[in-house]
Structure 1
Amino acid sequence: MVAKSYYNLNGYDRIKYYKKKEYVYSEKRFEQGEVWIRDNNLKPSGLKKGQEKTFSEFIKKGITNKIGYHIYYFVLLDAYHVLSIIVDNTLCKPKYIILDQLIERKWEDLDYLDEDLFSITERTYPYACRSVGRNDYNSSIQLWKLQR
């Protein structure tokens, strides 16, 4: 992929460009009401029963029998925070690392991804609310699997 200037563009604008270039292999939107338990202020406070592995299951479907590295682009909180996930499927047990400009992260077992995405959403939620001057914010997550 060729680097492009994304000044004044959000995560959704960038993915439109990637789609136009046919860099998107698959995608899924995880709606806030389906995935999160939410407190009185609508802040995510956990994964709903039956959704505890929803993100990692989506990724596992995309990497099964596909040895190598896989890149996922994702946005949360209406593109307030944009990150990438690199999945290493060259090992017996897949591992991932999240590329995040706010925190240096380490490689983890893919089974830990769902809790990690919840933690990022929970931690970032108050800042997203503050940025728009409200107490609630859309906490849906969208994942795109990228390809060359």
Structure 2
Amino acid sequence: MTSQAKDAPAARGDLFDPACPTRRLLDRIGTKWTSMAVKVLAEAAPGEVRFAELLRRMPGVSQKMLSVTLRSLVRDGLVARRVEPSVPPGVHYRLTGLGLSLETVLAAVRDWAEEHMAEVDRANERHTGQEAGPEDRPGSATGV
């Protein structure tokens, strides 16, 4: 590989291409558990957080789901994992630089959601209160 090829910027993805890896990445980073884990780790940055502390600070997440989420974040280079050689082993997590850059974006999305949640709830209530028109009924020409 030439140094020019090594230094070239990575090609951007195309979200509308079904084969684009951007879709898979958005699936992974767009979950509530990812958002929560990144937030907890960002609050501790540049420090580390133990697995049990993450579990405690993320109400509703199961041990398995947290493990799957963290494994994905580590694989994607967003989180670093350190195992302390003790009995039982202590497992610590921290955001990488890439993970910290994701926190900025996720924080903006969380802020937007908190600011607009009442408005979205009202829209849901209006929609639920309406009778389904023919286009909304299953099996119709335009309904799903």
Question: Is the structural similarity TM-score above 0.5?
Answer: no
By relative contact order (CA 8 Å, sep 6+), the higher-ranking structure is 1
Greater strand proportion: 1
User: Could you say which structure has the larger radius of gyration?
Assistant: 2
TM-score, normalised to structure 1, is 0.28
Instruction: Decide which structure has greater helix share.
Output: 2
